[in-house]
Structure 1
Amino acid sequence: MKTSRRARLTLAMLCAAVIIIAAVILPDLAVTAPEQGKPLGPVEKIRTPRNPRPEDWQAPDHAAALERAKAPREFVAKVKSEDPKLRQIRFKNLGLGVGDIKYSYMILDSPLVNTFENLYGPARFMHSKHAASLGGDCALCHHASPEGSDAGIDRLSETVACRTCHQESFNPAHPERIGLKAAYHQQCMGCHEEMNKGPIDCVGCHAKRVPDHKDLVRLPDDPTPMEVTQECLRCHQKAGEDMIKSAHWLWKGPSPYTVERQKKVMSGKATDTLNNFCIALPSNWPRCTSCHAGYGWKDETFDFTDMTRVDCLVCHDATDSYHKSPPAAGMPAPEVDLKFVAENVGKTNRNTCGNCHFQGGGGDAVKHADMCAVLRYPERNCDVHMGGYDFTCTDCHAAANHKIRGRSTSLPVAEGSRTCEDCHTSKPHYGDSMLDFHLNKHTDAVACNTCHSPVYSKCKATKTWWDWSEAGDKSREPVKDKYGMEDYNWMKGSFEWKEAKKPVYAWYNGYMERLLLGDVIAPEAMGFAPGDSLSAEERRSLPVTNITAPVGSIRDPSSKIFPFKLMDGIQPADAKHNYLLVPHLYPTSPDDKSAYWKNLDWQKAFVDGMKAAGLPYSGEYAWVRTNMYWGIKHEVMPKEMALSCVQCHESLKGEKTCDRCHQDRRDVDFKKLTVSGTDFGKMLSQGRDVAELVGVTDYIDFKALGYKSDPILSGGRFTKLPLGRTEP
């Protein structure tokens, strides 16, 4: 008994010692990836959501539209008998138009349309957009009026909702009337077909509902990731074939919007792109590919033709319990219950997309100035589409055959374009007032987000400066800034962060200049040598190499003033070959002798990093300053918070405003038009870091964009005046 007790005591002490040693060395070992394929032993499976929806969260505009859609309407038994053309003229004479629309956003949904089947979700309907595109001709859609209604007394009494006349199908009392579902489809699809504009297929307007997979999936209790994919492919073989041809799988593809590279068909993160965050993929695969929609991309030998390596669940998880292990080359975390997730798949959502896209650059809001985890359940003022209308990512970035519409300024790959104008048209201000006319003239030269996203990262601070030259000091203690963000990490260097930052504005025609791996940079931009001591001011004054930059000009009619996040930083370059270097950062195994995060030796890191990139390293390096332009396309603010006239046009600050050109009218308050807009004072009171923007005019800096002065005074880009054409 004594011996047994002593043995147990010795074992306990040994275990304690192991735990203490692990606690001491764990921070340094945390950057070493476990060997792929090694069993980790039994792990308790977790099914709980990682980002549960707050109980009090709702998208108010969407919720109100749903409530209106389901509200009962009194059935109209009798309608006026009226010639369509005479009705059209009568409405025009009454002045009925876009300005009379009570609700701009609607949802076409009702229990009446789901009586026999419910295979598709409701359709979003932009009432104002459709009315404006039809020239404000209300009679084209509202083709009948209730008997006894009089628009001369009640302007909206004759333009009633479809479901006041069209309700149940096959109503024996009114056999001449089609049901509500048929009425929607006849009216909408008929118009789209006649005008040769707009979708005429089901999924063009509706999201197809995903069937319950609990009785469809055939998996063992603890399947491997590849077994899950094989089960998906049993029914979705075509989807797998499409996926392995997509940019989300290949991380490369055509680059039609990169100047001088339009014929490159395999440009992207997997091959030749760089950034001034984590720099580049080659040699760092296991860490970077934790956001790849696949399993096991740990080195250059990954087989992109193997469909069983596709990760279906990372995009189609509807439980919010699925996640990947950051250092495991895209493999799911051991605690994920793969069978449970596979039985509960659904359409993509903000969580599934955001798990990768919100975390770009190694953390929340690091890379993208306009995307962060707040967008999972945002306030309306943070992003009106997601927070007001409950948009998912694919409401804008529609997919076809697993190719996603939309393109980034940071990467060359494009599988289709998506712009604000696709939904809002090139004349998005739908009223018929003088202000609407002027705002619509602005869209020829000003991008929508220039006015509607006056600041970026207003929901969470983003990284704006990254200096790799200062990495490696384990003794340096990080200091948290006013946003609670740390200014240093020994593995990565020094940082700066900013919340609610004013964008940099530039002319942009949709094309980008792009520095790729191996591209030579200017000799005068080579910066400083290792060991040189430069002050912060000296680093900021170094010549800049643009990794990405927008293409455009004040003289180019296709260019518009566009908002960008300008990412600034210091990164390594080959001192002899004059191109940017790729360091091997992440240790791929316990025996890795060259990874910087394990050995803190830049020379070894550059040798192996450049070998993986397929480029020679001279053995000498320097530190250079680089910039990247990141387009601001999300975090769109509500229209009432867009920039006002006077916030850009300083000339409107005086007594004379719009009436310098227009006769004063009693029904137009010119002064009010110039002072409404983005209320930075209110944003400041709500805790946003915008003190320096309160009271600012000439917000976008017209002279920096090539104008002589305020265009109100000096004229627009191509304006022809009586004495000749104005010169920018």
Structure 2
Amino acid sequence: MEKGRRLLFWAGILFVFAATSIVFLEARGLDAQANAGAVARVDGVYIDTLASYGKLELPVVTFYHDQHTDALAKQGKDCASCHKKDADGKLSTKFMRLEDGDADELKLIYHNQCIGCHQEMSRAGQQTGPLDGQCRSCHVDRSAETAWQPVAMDLSLHARHVIATGGDEKCGTCHHRYDEAQKKTVEVKGKEESCRNCHQEKPFHDETGLLVSSYAQASHSSCVSCHQDFTAQKKDSGPVSCAGCHSTEAQAKYKVLADIPRLKRGQPDAALLVTMDGDKPKVSMGPVAFNHEKHETAVGDCRSCHVGEGTMDGKFFELAGDMHLRSNMQGCIGCHSAMQQEKPVCAGCHDLMPVNKAPSQTSCVKCHDDSLKDLYADGAIPAKEAAAARAAGAIAARDLTVATIADEEIPEIVIIGSLSDTYEPSKLPHRKIVKRLIQDMQGDTMAGHFHGQDVLMCQGCHHNSPASKTPPKCASCHTAPFDPATPGRPGLMAAYHGQCMGCHTSMQLEKPTNTGCGDADGCHKVK
């Protein structure tokens, strides 16, 4: 009896030890799996299909696609090992199926196929993934661990695809519409739209009951299949791996065309922009003659300005947001402000200008042309051709040359010495600075349009006085020392240093240095 109890005791100890070891080993396996995915990757595919059938029992599976395709390639296998082709010969983005079944069927597909493949490789003595019973080795939420970057089909990349697929006559290679009568997608010449006009973030059924695939499904099915076809034909092709499209490193190596052919979608070369009040135009400020062709060369793609779902009747995409909001990057002021910050020659002045200052009437009329109001008299809406012609005429009449000031009217040297104490007065090469700024802006059409007044350049530094060739001295507003009665106005020393050093920083100037006051490259000499 006593012997039996001892055997039972030691058997219990061994069982606990074995169970603990299994849990420990499984935990070590999970740690290894977690650490393997700790480095952010671009090929993580989240298998969450069953979430549409109800609450998930376990976390979604993060499936590293490139890791698996590389392993299959070493065995001489390709995408067909996991993906089937549809009637059009395109690879389905779904795993081992063309259509979704019920939840139980889907679970069996994933578990049988994935674990089955792993077991087959394990029996062959090959390194492989988790086996049956190691649920938590796959079901680990790593959705935050990603370096995935979206692909921007900008004008250059689009043009390269147009050339590669045969030119403008082959738009149907990518663009199509579903024909209800033929029950398939067909090309409709001249009616090509953005893929996002039909394919949305998630799959959905349209008004006819047709299941429309998501944007991600449609783009991967079309793009990857096409790239594979080109590769099979021994032609130059795009990537088929996740990292080939969605990594920062790969995107940095994309070839950018120096001369991008204009993408003609029936858009005007010039147009008049007006605000509508219902079906009536509002032209209290005058219409804006907009150079559409010129702006196309300054943006990455049409969606830089246009958003939403539009039609092909001249309103391909509806304008979004207030055109005057600096925060709206799809509006005029927001985009122009961003460009001013990106260009050092512009940023030197514009970075220091107050953003909440109301524009002057002079600024408004640079865009709003009262001479075009007659087209909209009594609420009339002119024909597109007439509006385009007047817009083109107004644009052609613009002088886009940056206005200059005669050398003799620009002081050559300005001595700043009212606060000199430790240092000698600073000698500002005033004329050299003004001439260099004007020189760097020449040829820039935006600068030419908005800098048509010669003394406008002076406003960059002499910001709170009327535009003049003889502006008042800084000390007329900025007192020495700082005056607590005007807390929003810096003292004279702070005004000088803030303006000069701020400009040097924005313009990315290396000399004179901001902190080398008395250095050889500084602004002052020590007394």
Q: Shared fold by TM > 0.5?
A: no
Taking structure 2 as the reference length, what is the TM-score of the superposition? 0.27
Structure holding more helix per residue: 2
Which structure has the larger Rg over C-alpha atoms?
2
Taking structure 1 as the reference length, what is the TM-score of the superposition? 0.21
